[in-house]
């Protein structure tokens, strides 16, 4: 594997950090990983290395307002999810040209990154061959509407760029309340003590984010389950939903199943759900992370074989 780190200035004049991991094996596909809110691309080193050993080139980048080498005044803020989608488009087009544009392009999005991925396949349905959503956000209808209204009020009276501790605590600490046995702030993130310790020690995770960011996340989640939204994506593109059964943001599995049903009703042909018992939000970092990677790899291999058959 060869790892290359880049700082790329996009057409929007936004500079982002990008990592490319090139496989030393016969390449079978290009995986693009989109991280979640208040974290960064380097947390995905292990899964990237795992995939590289199995023939995948891997692209990762830090979203706006995230990363290590950024202006601190910009940390935790972006103006809209649309910006992140367009950033992804430009990074994709720039680097797959170098890697091999004929290879299947696979998008993996975690949490907020999964919402970027869901919008990306709506806006650019011909770009993505396979979609994997990890810890995606599916609010119950009423909760989603109430969250959106509350954040609209916060944005109106406190400002888009404000990073209120109250709002951030509601986002990062409230999930514990759904679990009577959880008594520490970040227990909702992961069953793995080690993963939580690494997360808490990392100065580039868990930082405050703006009201606007939360508003965009809630708005995207509310919209992305609608039939009119889903029907704009390629109905033949296979989708894998992976989530912990103890992940509040996936409705403890119920929201994930509801999303799968919405996909099928909207005409999506290939939807697979993989729920992990006792696992939480960061299913890619859990105590059974390599079992999760193996499930993803085996599913990916089956989809690639099917794509190859269809091409012939």
Q: Residues 223-235: what's their mean pLDDT?
A: 98
Q: Output the pLDDT for position 167.
A: 81
What is the distance between the alpha carbons of residues 12 and 18, in angstroms, rounded to a whole number? 16
Q: Could you give the CA distance from residue 97 to residue 86 in angstroms, rounded to a whole number?
A: 17
pLDDT band at 162 (very low <50, low <70, confident <90, very high): confident
Q: Are 213 and 160 in contact (CB under 8 A)?
A: no
- For residue 288, the model assigns a pLDDT of 96
Q: Are 58 and 31 in contact (CB under 8 A)?
A: yes
Q: Indicate the domain borders of the chain.
A: 2-311
Look up residue 296 and give its two tokens: 């993803």
CA distance 294 to 264: 25
Phi-psi region of 65 (alpha: psi -120 to 50; beta: other; left: phi over 0): left
CATH class of 2-311: alpha beta
**What is the C-alpha separation between 1 and 144, in angstroms, rounded?**
42
Cα–Cα dist 80/248, whole Å: 24
Q: Across residues 7-34, what is the average pLDDT?
A: 98
pLDDT at 177 over 90: no
The closest alpha carbon to 91, from 10, 21, 160, 27, belongs to 10
Other beta carbons within 10 Å of 280: 29
Maximum distance among all alpha carbons in the chain? 58
The tokens for 142 are: 């009423």
Q: Tokens for 79? A: 């103006």
pLDDT tens for each residue of 93-146:
999 999 999 999 999 999 999 999 999 999 999 999 999 999 999 988 767 777
Range with the poorest average pLDDT among 164-173, 227-236, 263-272, 279-288: 164-173
Please choose, from the candidates 142, 115, 108, the residue with its C-alpha nearest in 3D space to the C-alpha of residue 259.
115
pTM comes to: 0.95
Rounded mean pLDDT, 32-43: 98
Q: Would you state the pLDDT for residue 174?
A: 60
Question: Sorting pLDDT into bands at 50, 70 and 90, what band is 168?
Answer: confident
Sheet strands side by side (includes 2-9): 2-9, 15-22, 56-61, 29-34, 105-110, 130-134, 239-244, 271-276
Q: Which of 33-37, 40-44, 191-195, 222-226 has the lowest mean pLDDT?
A: 191-195
- The span from the CA of 201 to the CA of 46, in Å, is 18
Of 270, 223, 261, nearest to 129 by C-alpha is 270
pLDDT (mean) for 261-277: 98
Closest C-alpha to 143, from 249, 258, 265? 249
**Contact call for residues 249 and 241 (beta carbons, < 8 A):** no
Q: Do the beta carbons of residue 263 and residue 271 sit within 8 Å?
A: yes
Q: Helix or strand or coil: residue 20?
A: strand
Q: Is the pLDDT of residue 31 over 70?
A: yes
| Position 279 confidence tier, pLDDT thresholds 50, 70, 90 | very high
Any idea which residue has 């993996």 for tokens? Answer: 108
Would the pLDDT of 43 be above 80? yes
178-212 pLDDT tens trace = 555 555 668 889 999 999 999 999 999 999 999 89
Question: Are 188 and 179 contacting, i.e. CB atoms less than 8 angstroms apart?
Answer: yes
Length of the chain, in residues: 312
**For the stretch 288-306, what's the b/e string if a residue is b when 16 or more beta carbons lie within 10 angstroms of its beta carbon?**
bbeebbebbbebbeebbee
């Amino acid at each position: 594997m060869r790892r290359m780190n880049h700082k790329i200035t996009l057409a929007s004049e936004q500079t982002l950090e990008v990592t490319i991991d090139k496989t030393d094996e016969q390449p079978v596909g290009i995986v693009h990983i989109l991280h979640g809110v208040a974290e960064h691309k380097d947390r995905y080193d292990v899964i990237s290395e795992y995939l590289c050993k199995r023939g995948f080139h891997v692209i990762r980048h830090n979203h706006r307002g995230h990363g290590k080498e950024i202006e601190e005044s910009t940390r935790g803020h972006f103006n809209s999810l649309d910006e992140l989608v367009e950033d992804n488009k430009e990074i994709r087009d720039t680097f797959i040209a170098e890697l091999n544009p004929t290879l299947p392009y696979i998008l993996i999005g975690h949490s907020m990154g999964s919402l970027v991925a869901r919008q990306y396949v709506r806006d650019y349905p011909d770009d993505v061959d396979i979609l994997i959503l990890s810890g995606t956000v599916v609010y119950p209808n009423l909760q989603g509407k109430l969250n959106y209204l509350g954040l609209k009020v916060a944005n109106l009276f406190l400002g888009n760029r404000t990073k209120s501790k109250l709002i951030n605590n509601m986002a990062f600490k409230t999930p514990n309340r759904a679990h009577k046995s959880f008594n520490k702030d970040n227990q909702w993130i992961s069953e793995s003590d080690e993963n939580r310790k690494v997360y808490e020690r990392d100065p580039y995770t868990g930082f405050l984010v703006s009201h606007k960011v939360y508003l965009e996340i809630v708005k995207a989640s509310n919209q992305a389950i609608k039939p009119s939204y889903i029907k704009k994506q390629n109905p033949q593109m296979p989708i894998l939903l992976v989530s912990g059964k103890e992940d509040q943001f996936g409705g403890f599995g119920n929201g994930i199943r509801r999303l799968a049903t919405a996909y099928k009703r909207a005409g999506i042909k290939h939807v697979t759900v993989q729920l992990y018992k006792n696992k939480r939000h960061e299913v890619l970092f859990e105590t059974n992370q390599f079992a999760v990677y193996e499930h993803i790899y085996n599913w990916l291999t089956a989809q690639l074989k099917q794509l190859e058959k269809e091409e012939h």
